[in-house]
């Protein structure tokens, strides 16, 4: 039983398809109006059937009012960190503090290389991600004296000017599964952003991974509660309960409350490409889950 | 002297993307739009922490504006991946509805600029290498944006390397690439490769524009390009004052005098006002821009039409025998030729890959007449007429010919609410028609697919989901307006040009291009909609039982059956669909039951829904077909055991991959066979087969099925042998059509969609 006690967030993971051109935008507007907390898009810059995720996030930010936005997760190898830092701060400023930085080390190296990116081994890519996060945070630290310098193995920044600072404390969320990445999450991230369908053992896999993150956090002198646990989920609404996240909204709420109270997940990002599912998730699942978790936390005196 | 290059004069603004109050540059962009500027641009200085990231700002501003075009001024390429720039540009162009322009720079604003690039993690390049790298970036961006080419990008440059990156997405418009800078090497690069040059006016160097143009023009000619391909854009700064103080410093009239020579003598096509001051922006828009445009118009000949301005890269892809530079002015801007960005979207239709030499896209009857005038001058080439581009016969595209695409004439308008009279353009799709009529409680029976265009179907017949209850689509036609082969625009109805109205309903493709249809819609409420998967282990028995059940059913019910070839190890399954024009569940079930009972079922789904939602089954994506469809088709009165046995043998051959029978009959039979050119009023079914081999399909069809069929429906036919025309039109009908063809299209301009030969007997020999 691990509950890190964060407020719950509910969001969408929508396919950034280019055809129909505005589908992803329209679904984001649905999520915004339905009162969800977060709209996210996967980022595969080598995939011409998808919009460029940065462009889409910026455009969607301009078309929405309240919802926060993030890539899920940003493809670092094709997005240089110094530009990403400034772009992220800019989008946060333009949107009034609604941008969060979900970022990943990259995968699909053949496709990255085909686009002119540099192929890295998984281990190298983790080091590169750590360097990139350092550069990004340094660029955002506009008030620190001196330019940004980092003579990393994969990124070199030599006296770049700092700033702009984002409008709010932008969260850095990392998509991670393997031990080294999980340790990186514990050391430097504000959140961990995996996908439930990737867990071969189901939600039970969260236990060992949470432990690794918590250990790494403690070793770095951080509290495990400094790291929000987010989760991409998929499911189906059905009139009768069949399995985890396959059943009526009340059952979804119980399933999700269980994930919060037992596994510490405090942000649920639903893979959904239709307005009805998004609206049902926002109108019925989110409030019921919040209520169940609040009741249980109150009962447990947390 | 470089002179003018014939571009339309445009105006833009250059706004500083300060981040201290991020709403400010956004407000200036919106103000630029409201003031009528064509373009808003933002500086991109990667070493300026007081600025917003320009790309992010452009995408944000795209979300907050509707009309104005957008560009960086200029985008610092070395800090970004050119392949990602290309995909981002396509995305933003799509999201903004075709409003993005790409202005790129090498980051070489002196050694400081290049050092700043290096400081932020970019490669450390000398000025020469920076320009070389920019040239490679242009190549990469162009290659990635060239989404019509199916091969992935392989590019082996010194600075950039792509190894099998897929192309696309296809942007909404041709995104021009402008390059910014003053280095002579960069100017030569502009001449060799770019669509435009973006300079900055330095009052201290009045001759700089002229000397830059000279270098650009020479480089362009060396590359085999016309210098007029390259737009010249100029950033200018000035101050308004009551009296003249100097160059661009004084009253608006002085600004006009200062700027006019740049336009007239130095060929500047876009003037970009550098200002963050709303008052200056407004005064320039109100007092300088219109006066300057007027003065330039007086001094210069009219800008050339767009077809004549197409660059070398487009011209080299032109097909022989087409007078591209003589496309009528009314059509030139929207015409699409093989080198154009839109070509990938218009070359093919739903089932047939095409490679037309020119696609004309008229929006009015007068423009259709212009297109036909152009087509008459090109009678040596194929001519396709396209509305929705769905036609199974595939006649709406061709190879090397002309296509007149009336997709843009797509209005849907109620003329008379009481009479349920609606006027519909040929380019509307039937799903759009269904959606527009639904709120009135109406529907018009059409085909079975929502992506079909009105024009092709409503000049051929229209066998749809309400056929047995409400007849053919053409049975609802009350009048048409069409453009004849000689360019005349005429109206035809029972009382005006009645013979033409008779011919258009079934043989319209031979007589003109219809630009408006007036239909009487039916009152249609919620409908029952069923889909069954039935055991087709006994295909002949299934077909006869299904045919009998459908014929016995009340007219509310219209049905279709789809069967495929035998598949190893899998049970044979037929799909049966049926619509019941009733909102009463008991009636629907009662009428469906006999159809469902014709064979054991694997799966079934029955819903009460609207005609519009059944028709909403097509995507908005452009047609991307390749190759040629191979089909045969015909009409039949009853699915006799003999026919069904023949059909079963056809299916068992494996030659047919899709076998489709749709019910007609019912209300269709109420109409006099002589009432219109579509005469096969006794047919209860429409049979179609698709195969992969022309000769094999023809042999089996001719040998097995043909003897059972009486008449055909040309929209589904791809066989070009002359017998097909005689099957489509019985002798008396065909004779009348030939007489009318002689009257309305004696030279056979409309001959590429089952040509009727004119009856020349009445011609007087000269």
Which chain B residue has its CA at the smallest distance from A77's CA? B81
Q: Assign B345 to helix, strand or coil.
A: helix
Burial profile A6-27: b = 16 or more Cβ within 10 angstroms, e = fewer: bebbbbbbbebbbeebbbbbeb
- Picking from B96, B118, B152, the nearest residue to A158 by CB comes out as B118
- Picking from B92, B161, B166, the nearest residue to A116 by CB comes out as B161
Q: A236: burial class by Cβ within 10 Å (0-12, 13-18, 19+)? A: exposed
Asked if A15 has any chain B CB less than 8 Å from its own CB, the reply is no
Q: Rg (Cα) of chain B, in Å, rounded?
A: 31
- Picking from A47, A52, A61, the nearest residue to B88 by CB comes out as A52
- Picking from B84, B96, B164, the nearest residue to A45 by CB comes out as B84
pLDDT per residue as tens digits for the range B150-188? 899 999 999 999 999 999 999 999 999 999 999 999 999
Task: Tell me the nearest-neighbour CA distance from A300 into chain B, angstroms.
Answer: 45
* Partners of residue B77 in chain A, C-beta under 8 Å: none
Token pair of B221, please?
A: 């000619």
Asked if A58 has any chain B CB less than 8 Å from its own CB, the reply is yes
pLDDT at A23 over 90: yes
CA B290 to chain centre: 34
Chain A residues 218-247 within an 8 A CB cutoff of chain B: none
- Contact between chains at A164 and B49 (C-beta distance less than 8 A): yes
Please report the pLDDT score of residue B160 as a whole number.
94
CA B497 to chain centre: 32
* Partners of residue A57 in chain B, C-beta under 8 Å: 59
- Contact between chains at A52 and B90 (C-beta distance less than 8 A): yes
Please report the pLDDT score of residue B48 as a whole number.
87
- Picking from A20, A62, A160, the nearest residue to B120 by CB comes out as A160
Token pair of B600, please?
A: 């054991």
Q: Rg (Cα) of chain A, in Å, rounded?
A: 19
Please report the pLDDT score of residue B367 as a whole number.
98
Please report the pLDDT score of residue B1 as a whole number.
41
- Contact between chains at B49 and A142 (C-beta distance less than 8 A): yes
- In this prediction the pTM is 0.85
- Contact between chains at B164 and A155 (C-beta distance less than 8 A): no
3-state secondary structure B543-603: HHHHHHHHHHCCCCEEEEEEECCCCCCCCCEEEEEEEECCCCHHHHHHHHHHHHCCCCEEE
- Contact between chains at A90 and B22 (C-beta distance less than 8 A): yes
Please report the pLDDT score of residue B761 as a whole number.
84
* Partners of residue B92 in chain A, C-beta under 8 Å: 52, 55, 59
Task: Tell me the nearest-neighbour CA distance from A214 into chain B, angstroms.
Answer: 33
- Picking from B53, B161, B162, the nearest residue to A86 by CB comes out as B53
Mean pLDDT value across chain B = 94
pLDDT per residue as tens digits for the range A223-245? 999 999 999 999 999 889 889 99
Cβ contacts below 8 Å, chain A against chain B, sum to 180
Please report the pLDDT score of residue B567 as a whole number.
84
- Picking from B88, B121, B140, the nearest residue to A156 by CB comes out as B121
- Closest listed residue to residue B487, CA positions, set B513, B509, B465, B505: B513
pLDDT at B586 over 90: yes
Asked if A83 has any chain B CB less than 8 Å from its own CB, the reply is yes
What average pLDDT score do residues B671-691 get?
Answer: 97
Please report the pLDDT score of residue B115 as a whole number.
73
Residue from B50, B62, B95 to probe the interface with A (highest A Cβ count within 10 Å): B95
Tell me how far apart the alpha carbons of residues B558 and B541 are, in angstroms, rounded to a whole number: 20
Token pair of B457, please?
A: 């179907």
Task: Tell me the nearest-neighbour CA distance from A284 into chain B, angstroms.
Answer: 26
CA distances from residue B466 to B452, B575, B655, B660 in whole angstroms, order as listed:
16, 18, 31, 17
Please report the pLDDT score of residue B111 as a whole number.
60
Q: Flag the least confident range among A34-38, B337-341, B383-387.
A: B337-341
Please report the pLDDT score of residue B765 as a whole number.
58
Which chain A residue has its CA at the smallest distance from B92's CA? A55
pLDDT per residue as tens digits for the range B504-537? 999 999 999 999 999 999 999 999 999 999 999 9
> Sign of the C-alpha dihedral, residues B470, B475, B479, B485?
positive
- Contact between chains at A20 and B61 (C-beta distance less than 8 A): no
Backbone angles phi, psi at B416, to 5 degrees: -150, 105
Neighbours of A133 (CB within 10 A): 21
């Amino acid at each position: 039983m691990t509950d890190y006690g964060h407020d719950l967030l509910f969001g969408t993971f929508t396919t950034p398809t280019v055809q129909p051109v505005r589908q992803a935008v329209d679904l984001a507007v649905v999520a915004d109006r339905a009162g969800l907390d977060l709209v996210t898009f996967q980022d595969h810059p080598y995939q011409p059937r998808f919009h460029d995720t940065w462009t889409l996030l910026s455009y969607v930010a301009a078309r929405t009012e309240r919802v926060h936005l993030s890539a899920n997760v940003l493809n670092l190898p094709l997005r240089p960190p110094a530009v990403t830092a400034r772009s992220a701060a800019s989008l946060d400023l333009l949107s009034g503090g609604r941008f969060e930085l979900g970022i990943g080390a990259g995968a699909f190296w053949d496709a990255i290389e085909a686009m002119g990116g540099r192929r890295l081994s998984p281990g190298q890519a983790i080091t590169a991600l750590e360097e990139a996060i350092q550069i990004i945070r340094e660029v955002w630290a506009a008030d620190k004296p001196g330019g940004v310098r980092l003579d990393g193995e994969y990124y070199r920044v030599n006296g770049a000017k700092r700033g702009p600072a984002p409008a709010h404390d932008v969260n850095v969320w990392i998509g991670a599964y393997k031990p080294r990445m999980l340790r990186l999450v514990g050391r430097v991230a504000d959140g961990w952003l995996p996908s439930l369908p990737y867990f071969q053992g189901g939600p039970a896999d969260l236990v060992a991974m949470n432990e690794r993150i918590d250990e790494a956090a403690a070793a770095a002198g951080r509290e495990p509660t400094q790291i929000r646990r987010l989760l991409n989920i998929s499911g189906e609404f059905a009139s009768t309960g069949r399995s985890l996240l396959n059943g009526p909204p009340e059952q979804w709420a119980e399933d999700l409350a269980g994930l919060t109270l037992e596994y510490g997940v405090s942000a649920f990002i639903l893979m959904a490409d239709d307005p009805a599912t998004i609206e049902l998730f926002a109108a019925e699942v989110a409030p019921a889950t919040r209520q169940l978790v609040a009741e249980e936390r109150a009962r447990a005196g947390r | 002297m470089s002179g003018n290059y014939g571009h339309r004069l445009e105006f833009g603004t250059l706004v500083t993307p300060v981040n201290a109050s991020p709403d400010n540059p956004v407000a200036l962009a919106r103000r630029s739009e409201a003031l009528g500027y064509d373009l808003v641009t933002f500086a991109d200085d990667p070493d300026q922490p007081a600025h917003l990231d320009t790309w992010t700002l452009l995408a944000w501003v795209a979300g907050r504006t509707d009309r104005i075009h957008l560009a960086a001024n200029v985008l610092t390429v070395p800090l970004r991946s050119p392949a990602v720039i290309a995909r981002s540009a396509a995305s933003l162009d799509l999201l903004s509805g075709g409003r993005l322009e790409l202005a790129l720079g090498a980051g070489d604003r002196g050694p400081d600029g290049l050092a700043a690039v290096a400081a932020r993690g970019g490669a450390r390049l000398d000025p020469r290498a920076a320009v070389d790298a920019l040239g490679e970036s242009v190549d990469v961006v162009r290659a990635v944006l060239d989404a019509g080419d199916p091969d992935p990008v392989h590019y082996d440059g010194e600075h950039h390397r792509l190894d099998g990156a897929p192309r696309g997405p296809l942007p909404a418009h041709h995104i021009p690439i402008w390059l910014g800078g003053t280095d002579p090497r960069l100017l030569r690069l502009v001449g060799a490769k770019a669509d435009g040059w973006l300079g900055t006016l330095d009052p201290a160097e009045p001759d700089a524009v002229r000397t830059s143009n000279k270098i650009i023009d020479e480089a362009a000619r060396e590359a085999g390009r016309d210098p007029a391909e390259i737009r010249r854009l100029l950033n200018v700064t000035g101050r308004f004052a009551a009296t003249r103080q100097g160059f661009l410093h004084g009253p608006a009239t002085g600004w006009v005098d200062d700027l006019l020579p740049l336009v007239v003598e130095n060929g500047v096509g876009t003037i970009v006002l550098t200002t963050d001051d709303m008052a200056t922006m407004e005064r320039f828009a109100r007092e300088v821009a219109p006066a300057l445009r007027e003065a330039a118009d007086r001094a210069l000949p009219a800008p050339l039409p767009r077809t004549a301005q197409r660059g070398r890269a487009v011209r080299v892809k032109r097909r022989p025998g087409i007078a591209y530079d003589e496309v009528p002015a009314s059509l030139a801007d929207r015409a699409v030729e093989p080198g154009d960005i839109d070509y990938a979207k218009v070359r093919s239709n739903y089932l047939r890959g095409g490679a037309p030499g020119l696609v004309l896209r008229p929006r009015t009857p007068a423009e259709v007449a212009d297109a036909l005038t152009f087509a008459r001058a090109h009678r040596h080439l194929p001519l396709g007429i396209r509305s929705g581009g769905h036609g199974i016969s595939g006649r709406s595209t061709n190879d090397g010919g002309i296509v007149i695409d009336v997709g843009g004439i797509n209005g849907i308008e109620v003329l008379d609410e009481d009479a349920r009279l609606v006027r519909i353009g040929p380019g509307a799709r039937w799903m759009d028609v269904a959606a527009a009529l639904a709120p009135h409680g109406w529907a018009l029976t059409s085909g079975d697919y929502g992506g079909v265009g009105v024009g092709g179907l409503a000049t051929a017949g229209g066998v749809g989901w309400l056929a047995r209850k409400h007849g053919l689509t053409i049975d609802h036609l009350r009048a048409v307006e069409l453009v004849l082969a000689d360019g005349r625009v005429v109206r035809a109805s029972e009382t005006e040009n009645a013979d033409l109205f008779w011919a258009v309903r079934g043989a319209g493709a031979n007589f003109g291009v219809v630009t408006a249809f007036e239909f009487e819609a039916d009152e249609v409420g919620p409908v029952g909609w069923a889909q069954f998967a039935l055991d087709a282990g006994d295909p002949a028995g299934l077909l006869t039982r299904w045919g009998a059940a459908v014929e016995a059913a009340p007219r509310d019910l219209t049905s279709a059956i789809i069967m495929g070839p035998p598949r190893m190890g899998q049970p044979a399954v037929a799909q049966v669909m049926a619509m019941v024009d009733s909102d009463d569940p008991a009636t629907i079930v009662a009428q469906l039951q006999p159809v469902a009972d014709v064979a054991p079922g694997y799966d079934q789904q029955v819903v009460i829904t609207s005609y519009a939602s059944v028709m909403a089954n097509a995507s908005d994506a452009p047609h991307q077909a390749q190759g040629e469809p191979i089909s045969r088709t015909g009409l039949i009165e009853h699915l006799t055991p003999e026919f069904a046995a023949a059909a079963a043998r056809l299916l068992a051959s494996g030659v047919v991959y899709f076998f489709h029978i749709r019910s007609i009959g019912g209300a269709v039979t109420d109409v006099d066979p002589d009432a219109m050119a579509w005469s096969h009023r006794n047919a209860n079914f429409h049979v179609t087969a698709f195969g992969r081999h022309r000769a094999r399909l023809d042999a089996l069809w001719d040998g097995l099925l043909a003897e059972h069929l009486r008449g055909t429906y040309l929209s589904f036919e791809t066989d070009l042998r002359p017998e097909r025309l005689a099957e489509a039109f019985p002798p008396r009908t065909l004779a009348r059509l030939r007489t009318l063809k002689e009257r309305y299209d004696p030279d056979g301009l409309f001959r590429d969609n089952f040509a009727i030969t004119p009856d020349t007997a009445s011609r007087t020999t000269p």
